Amino acid sequence: MSKTPVRSPKQESRLGMVRRARRINRELAEVYPYAHPELDFEDPFQLLVATVLSAQTTDLRVNMTTPALFAKYPTPEDMAAAVPEELEEMIRPTGFFRAKAKSLIGLSIALRDRFGGEVPGRLEDLVTLPGVGRKTANVVLGNAFGVPGITVDTHFARLVRRFGWTEETEPERIEAAVGAIFPKSEWTMLSHRVIFHGRRICHARRPACGACPIAELCPSYGEGETDPEKARKLLKYEMGGKPGQRLKPPAHFPGEAAAIKAMEEDS
């Protein structure tokens, strides 16, 4: 792949960085027009629970766990009354199940007692719930309520530093720095696109630089495999010809629904 080197972020002007960042967003929108949350959910409560469960595990593992969970505990009132040991056993596959069960019961009690059994649509309310930080709150706001938010997960934090958008490492500082670059209306979809790219191409350990559609815009090009053929073998999910993480993907998703066997193939 021929590639014009991007100037070091330290040499780049603020205006130049903003223009490059917005071009990256436009390019990613063309690569991932179907970008979406990869957690299966049908209402705000399900998305809230699934997002809490997604910490330190894959969305696929959560998607395989939640159908039975939501069948038994369809409402906050039901989950608030759960026997902790029974809830723990149901969510055991997602890891850290005792802490997660405590958070789920705690947030369900709070929803029942303080919010009339409804998930609130304001960040300042969501972050008061047990186990809910800004990342989880922004996921719920952006995808269940249509309120723009930036989701700073490990993929997002890694890529925005590789892209030279910020040198910050704390999630709230990253959120503020990136939010200042893009119009608020772009925040939710920007998050999906960057996270999709991080999961599929710009991996933590072996980024597939040689197969990256925005290589010419990235100052970190060369950190990973630059040979196009070798890089293509590193692609994951639908980019690599395999299913995504959703068991019930949206109609416009180009790949197939995930299968149980995919659990061990991707992370």
**From residue 204, how far is each of 45, 46, 224, 231, 246 by CA, in Å?**
31, 29, 9, 14, 21
Contacts of 79 (CB under 8 A, 6+ apart): 49, 73, 87, 104, 105, 108
Instruction: Assess contact for 20 and 12: CB atoms under 8 A.
Output: yes
Say if residue 232 is exposed, middle or buried (CB neighbours under 10 Å; 0-12, 13-18, 19+).
middle
Contacts of 43 (CB under 8 A, 6+ apart): 144
Structure tokens given for 248: 């019930």
Active site residues: 135, 153
Q: How far from each other are the two terminal CA atoms of the chain, in whole angstroms?
A: 27
Q: What angle do CA 175, 180, 184 make, to 5 degrees?
A: 85
Instruction: Assess contact for 105 and 80: CB atoms under 8 A.
Output: yes
**From residue 83, how far is each of 79, 130, 233 by CA, in Å?**
9, 17, 46
